[in-house]
């Protein structure tokens, strides 16, 4: 089988190299992570519009995906990369993974999402916030925390679960949120905050699934702690995937971290023109309106309509923390190591 595949591939590559860069390829390849999802209808719409099919390659989690793109930067395996977020952006750009492109549709996106240099295009965003179990707080006298600092209060001892920033994307986002909130100064800084959290018996898991499903008590979680680091889109997801009327969980709107997800044309692609078309398409209303119920993040295109379940059950975050990708890249390793020291 390998031999016939090799033969086929050899033939295709010979044929492909004989054609000019502007001619129409049969397909373009999208490299993304495992959480990527859109309806078949949406991808089909792209094919109808342009005549080119989209082949999706999945890479596991976002970190793995970025590393794969970097490792293959000189001979890319795809035409477009989707799913690099602000925590990994600097690294990917510095490694020369992308080819510059400014999409005309970028005007529909909030200026704060734009990236200097236009190496990538923002497609969607999500907010990592602390979620709480409504039923647990209804039944108890303890008030719902209003902000991150509250969680250090002994009254919340043993009630909070977070994820390891070294192994989890929302875990890292929450860490960055605390750094953004408390800063690195000499006064009460993020390290003091975390020291207090650990003294408060915060539980650390390695991934989101374990934290949410086995330690968190709210919604579909089966654990015992009513506070968890999750997403602003988790309450509508509970409603949507639980066929409920009310969301069983709520979101602490202060202290959220904004994760922006980007797509970019991979440098060295042989289908630059159509790769750009795909980026444009990703900002189009068709694609953007498909995002919420498939990936449970928010469309970057301001004009895209949100589904009802989002409108009804999302608590909009207040002043979410946004951090410069460059700053994240510079300090990430040190921050994680320092956090790990505190955690031991």
- Least spacing, CB of residue 66 vs another protein, in Å: 8
Q: Is 64 in the site for another protein (CB under 8 A)?
A: yes
| Cβ neighbours of 324 (radius 10 Å) | 12
Stretch of 7-15, 255-263, 274-282, 300-308 lying at the interface with another protein (CB under 8 A): 7-15
Instruction: Report yes or no: 281 and 287 within 8 Å, Cβ to Cβ.
Output: yes
Show the binding pattern over residues 197-236: x = contacts another protein (CB under 8 A), - = does not. -------xxxxxxx-xxxx---xxxxxx-----x---x--
Q: Is 61 in the site for another protein (CB under 8 A)?
A: yes
Rounded to the nearest 5°, which phi and psi values hold at 59?
-125, 15
**Residue 76, Cβ density class (10 Å: 0-12 exposed, 13-18 middle, ≥19 buried):** buried
| Cβ neighbours of 109 (radius 10 Å) | 22
Instruction: Report yes or no: 343 and 166 within 8 Å, Cβ to Cβ.
Output: no
Instruction: Report yes or no: 45 and 286 within 8 Å, Cβ to Cβ.
Output: yes
Show the binding pattern over residues 80-119: x = contacts another protein (CB under 8 A), - = does not. -----------x----------------------------
Q: Is 305 in the site for another protein (CB under 8 A)?
A: no
Q: Is 340 in the site for another protein (CB under 8 A)?
A: yes
- Least spacing, CB of residue 110 vs another protein, in Å: 25
Provide the 3-class DSSP secondary structure of residue 54: strand
Stretch of 101-109, 165-173, 178-186, 257-265 lying at the interface with another protein (CB under 8 A): 165-173
Q: Is 24 in the site for another protein (CB under 8 A)?
A: no
Beta bridge partners of 5: none
Q: Is 77 in the site for another protein (CB under 8 A)?
A: yes
Tell which residue, 254, 288, 243, 8, has the closest CA to residue 122.
288
33 vs 106 by CB, closer to another protein: 33
Q: Residue 227 is inside which H or E element, if any? A: strand 227-231
Residues 231-260 that bind another protein (CB under 8 A): 234, 237-238, 240-244, 249
Calpha distance 242→249 (Å, rounded): 12
195 vs 294 by CB, closer to another protein: 294
Calpha distance 148→255 (Å, rounded): 6
Q: Is 167 in the site for another protein (CB under 8 A)?
A: yes
- Give the number of residues in contact with another protein, rule: CB under 8 A: 77
31 vs 89 by CB, closer to another protein: 31
């Amino acid at each position: 089988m390998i031999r016939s595949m090799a033969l086929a591939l050899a033939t295709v590559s010979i044929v492909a190299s004989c054609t000019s860069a502007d001619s129409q390829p049969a397909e373009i390849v999208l490299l993304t992570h495992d959480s990527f999802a859109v309806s078949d209808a949406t991808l089909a719409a792209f094919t109808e519009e342009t005549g080119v099919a989209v082949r999706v390659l999945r890479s596991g989690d976002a970190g793995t995906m970025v590393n794969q793109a970097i490792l293959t930067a000189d001979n890319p395996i795809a035409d477009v990369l989707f799913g690099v977020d602000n925590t990994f952006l600097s690294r990917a750009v510095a490694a020369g993974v992308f080819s510059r492109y400014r999409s005309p549709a970028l005007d529909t996106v909030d200026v704060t999402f734009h990236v200097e240099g236009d190496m990538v295009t923002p497609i969607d965003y999500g907010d990592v916030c602390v979620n709480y179990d409504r039923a647990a707080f209804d039944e108890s006298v303890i008030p719902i925390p209003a902000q991150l600092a509250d969680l250090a209060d002994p009254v919340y001892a043993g009630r909070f679960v977070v994820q390891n920033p070294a192994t989890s994307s929302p875990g890292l986002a929450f860490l960055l949120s605390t750094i953004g909130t408390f800063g690195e100064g000499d006064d009460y800084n993020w390290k003091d905050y975390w020291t207090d959290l650990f003294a408060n018996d915060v539980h650390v898991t390695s991934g989101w699934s374990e934290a949410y499903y086995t330690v968190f008590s709210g919604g579909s979680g089966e654990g015992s702690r009513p506070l968890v680091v999750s997403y602003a889109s988790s309450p509508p997801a509970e409603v949507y995937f639980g066929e409920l009327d009310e969301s069983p969980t709520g979101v602490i709107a202060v202290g959220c971290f904004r994760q922006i997800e980007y797509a970019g044309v991979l440098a060295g692609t042989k289908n630059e023109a159509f790769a750009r078309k795909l980026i444009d398409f990703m900002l189009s209303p068709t694609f953007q309106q498909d995002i919420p119920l498939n990936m449970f993040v928010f469309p970057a295109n301001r004009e895209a309509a949100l589904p009802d379940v989002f409108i009804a059950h999302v608590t909009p975050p207040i002043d979410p923390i946004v951090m410069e990708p460059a700053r994240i890249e510079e300090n990430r390793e040190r921050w994680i190591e320092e956090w790990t020291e505190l955690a031991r």
